[in-house]
């Protein structure tokens, strides 16, 4: 059963890597921030369209490994129509899941982001999975400087 779940999660990651969602430029965007993970070479630019405190559109451009591409693709899907506070809460939940092995988080709180839960077994890849979220965090705080995971 657990192995089946793992296979399913991998399938979803491969699918998002092959066909990234929201892989486009928002013009004009309310927020644009670049993120870079030097450890792996993942690079992305995140675009957000906001309506007051609500994220009405999210997209990205860039190139990186399968984990980083799947992560940013999934993120742009799940944060759409969320408030900035809800998106920040999701980042906290996701980050805790990946960085704290003993965390006893309810998977349902993560929704489709749960497919990336296997990354916690590979500490070197955690930054690949969280790069998109650190970039989002900077964008929501209205920072415009490129961010680096190092």
Residues interacting with Zn ion, by CB under 5 A? 40, 42, 65, 68, 128
Cα 45 to chain centroid, rounded: 12
Nearest approach, Cβ of residue 49 and Zn ion (Å) = 26
Nearest approach, Cβ of residue 22 and Zn ion (Å) = 19
Q: How far apart are CA 5 and CA 1, in angstroms?
A: 6
Beta strands 147-148 and 31-37: pairing type?
parallel
Q: Which is nearer to Zn ion, 122 or 141 (CB)?
A: 122
Q: Which is nearer to Zn ion, 37 or 76 (CB)?
A: 37
Q: Which two tokens stand for residue 7?
A: 């296979």
Q: Which is nearer to Zn ion, 90 or 129 (CB)?
A: 129
């Amino acid at each position: 059963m657990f192995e089946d779940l793992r296979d399913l999660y991998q399938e979803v990651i491969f699918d998002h890597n092959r066909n990234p969602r929201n892989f486009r430029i928002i013009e004009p965007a309310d927020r644009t921030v670049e993120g870079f993970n030097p450890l792996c070479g993942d690079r992305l630019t995140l675009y957000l369209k906001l309506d007051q405190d609500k994220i009405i559109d999210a997209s990205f451009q860039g190139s990186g490994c399968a984990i980083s591409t799947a992560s940013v693709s999934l993120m742009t899907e799940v944060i759409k129509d969320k408030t900035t506070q809800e998106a920040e809460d999701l980042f906290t939940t996701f980050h805790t899941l990946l960085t704290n092995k003993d965390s006893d988080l309810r998977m349902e709180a993560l929704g489709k982001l749960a497919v990336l839960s296997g990354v916690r077994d590979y500490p070197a890849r955690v930054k690949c999975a969280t790069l998109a979220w650190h970039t989002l965090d900077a964008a929501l705080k209205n920072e415009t400087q490129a961010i680096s995971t190092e």
